[in-house]
Chains A and B, each alone.
Chain A
Amino acid sequence: MEISVFFFGQLTDIIGSRQVRLSDVSDTDALENTLKARYPMLRQSKYVIAVNRKIIREKMDLTSNAEVALLPPFSGG
């Protein structure tokens, strides 16, 4: 199962791209651990996770068509 993860704002400076594809991540905790191992700077970053465009507060199981995004603090306006 492959998941597309989208990055925005200052996180794109850390990741170096706006989208990363991950395999073998069954839930959002596994996804975060994989990302933090690959991009250690994420550990110092402030962000929330959105699944299918809704911010989640607790671990969520991921299906292959899930749209996952890491959102740093908003700064519109």
Chain B
Amino acid sequence: MKRLNKLIFFNQGAIPATRIADIIQHHGSDISIGAYSIFLGQVRADLAGNDQVSAISYTAYEDMALEKMEAIGDAIFEKYAITGMEVIHSLGEVATGEICLCVVLTAAHRKAAMDACSETVELIKSELPIWGKEHLTKEGHQWKINTTNGKHHT
């Protein structure tokens, strides 16, 4: 079982499409891989009253996020027959229409890759100490709310 030393990389600003292409290119040397499952999160122009989200600024408790991502990685590698995992999350400002999250899972077969990717994305959203501050087009900001706030349910 092969995994990178570090599972999550923080990227200042939007994740360029070329970075995602590079990951695929890089894994091409591993001919045991038969399937990739890739999730890309893009900043959406949500409506906020009569205003609209124009960008999200991300901050993270980086040391804790790195440790937590290791634990998530351990659980996912344990549960699914995957061969690799790579996560890139933006920090700082990402405008609407730009990519803020990239999750790549590799496996010999598609089902493991797809199921593991789906669960990893859910865990990233509910368990990693990362926050999104939504900037509005006209003025001000609001804090992003994820639909799954696992650790904060009482």
Question: Considering only CB atoms and an 8 Å cut-off, how many residues of chain A contact the other chain?
Answer: 18
Query: B residues within 8 Å of A by Cβ?
Result: 41, 58-61, 63-64, 67, 89, 100-101, 121, 124-133, 143-146, 149, 151-152
Q: State whether the Cβ of A9 lies closer than 8 Å to any Cβ in chain B.
A: yes
Q: How many residue pairs bridge A and B at CB < 8 Å?
A: 75
8 Å CB contact of A48 from B89, B100, B152 = B152
Query: Are B59 and A74 touching (Cβ within 8 A)?
Result: no
- Which secondary structure characterizes the binding site on chain A? loop
Given contacts A9-B143, A55-B151, contact A76 B131 (CB under 8 A): yes
Asked if residues A77 and B61 are in contact (CB atoms below 8 Å), the reply is no
Distance in angstroms between the alpha carbons of A75 and B41 in the assembled complex: 13
Q: Is A73 an interface residue (CB 8 A)?
A: yes
Within 61-76 of A, Cβ neighbours of B (below 8 Å) are at 69, 71-76
In the complex, the answer to whether B64 meets A74 with C-beta atoms within 8 Å is no
Q: Residues of A contacting B121 with CB < 8 Å? A: 77
Contact pick for B131, options A6, A10, A48, A50, CB 8 Å: A10
Select one of B61, B100, B125, B145 contacting A8, CB under 8 A.
Answer: B61
